[in-house]
Structure 1
Amino acid sequence: SGKTTFFRCLCGLERPEEGGVSGIDTFSVQFQEDRLCEDYSVVKNLEMVLGDAAQAREILVQLLPEEALEQPCRELSGGMKRRVSLVRAMEAGAQCVLLDEPFTGLDEENRKKAEAYIRQKAGERILMLATHIRPAEELPQTVRM
């Protein structure tokens, strides 16, 4: 209860009734809604973050079939859109990454791929993940709320 609101307060989209956040300069967020540019291709949605289409393609094939990369996002399934929004949030280079229900719409195989991708890309950043689905393996320094 309140996980999404907590995330919104952390990144400054809502004001908390008390307290505040300090020491974190940049956030990237995977919202519950995918918030993709629906008329743009999968590659273009990530290229807007990275500035490099070739690099975007290289990263996206880890979680999506290659034949989907040039499709407009509006043509993708819900699970594919979810993976595009996950990659976009993880690749944004922010100090803190907030993932709100990143596994929604993913079958078990794609959920495991997404979990592995998150582990690979987390690095030393702060990573907060809100989900009702327990990961197959605990992520490093997991805190349950």
Structure 2
Amino acid sequence: MIKLQSISKSFDGVSVLENISAEIPDSGIFAICGASGSGKTTLMRIILGLEQPDSGNIYGLEGKKAAVVFQNDRLLPWFSALDNVAAVCSKERAKELLEKVELSDSLDKKPAELSGGMCRRVALARALAFDADILLLDEPFKGLDAELRGRTVKLVEDFAKTKPVILITHDPWEASLARAKLDIEK
């Protein structure tokens, strides 16, 4: 179990997170919910160790490998979709995951040749390809129509059967996928 204990963070004297505590189960989807600007992404960055909290602690992440889909896809622009995913796994596994996110016809396309939703799916396939202990997803289904979003969610749910997924969202439907959630209010 991952435990967030009394996490607080401010920037330039403006409080972004105040005394946030939660317990994240060892498997299943845990949603961090809130409106834009409520501090969801900041909390994710603190969990990842990319930001330091002003106060509070996180327990249970020691020695764990995390895979992440950030708000911005962070794809390598000079790599094809296939090579972006294969950066963390075999090409065979990358092809399999790109097929699962319905991009088998775009393997050789570079990010600039893909739509926003297609880039999102490449980023998700890459995160799922990494041999991670925990998956952190910041608005992972943006740019996907409802039907495709539903099919893509299945991949995340499969990962969550045995490992924790932290889902950052403001979308009520996405939050409903979680077995536990934390609501952050501004």
The partner residue of 1:44 within 60, 83, 90 is 83
Q: Give the aligned partner of residue 34 of structure 1.
A: 73
Q: TM-score, normalised by structure 2?
A: 0.72
Separation in 2, partners of 1:136, 1:96: 18
Q: TM-score, normalised by structure 1?
A: 0.90
Which has the bigger relative contact order, CA under 8 A and spacing at least 6? 2
Residue identity over aligned pairs, in percent, reads 38
8 Å Cα contact 1:103-1:131 kept in structure 2: no
The partner residue of 2:50 within 13, 16, 37 is 13
Structure with bigger gyration radius: 2
Q: Give the aligned partner of residue 105 of structure 1.
A: 143
Segments of 5+ residues of structure 1 without an aligned counterpart are none
8 Å Cα contact 1:27-1:94 kept in structure 2: yes
Supply the AA of the counterpart residue of 2:73.
D
Segments of 5+ residues of structure 2 without an aligned counterpart are 1-37
Separation in 1, partners of 2:139, 2:169: 5
State the 1:122 CA deviation.
2.2
Separation in 2, partners of 1:135, 1:116: 14
Q: CA RMSD in A?
A: 1.7
| Higher alpha-carbon deviation: 75-84 or 125-134 | 125-134
The partner residue of 2:160 within 117, 122, 125 is 122
Separation in 2, partners of 1:110, 1:86: 13
Separation in 2, partners of 1:121, 1:37: 24
Separation in 2, partners of 1:62, 1:134: 25
* Equivalenced residues, count: 144
| Higher alpha-carbon deviation: 96-105 or 129-138 | 129-138
| Higher alpha-carbon deviation: 24-33 or 116-125 | 116-125
Greater strand percent: which structure? 2
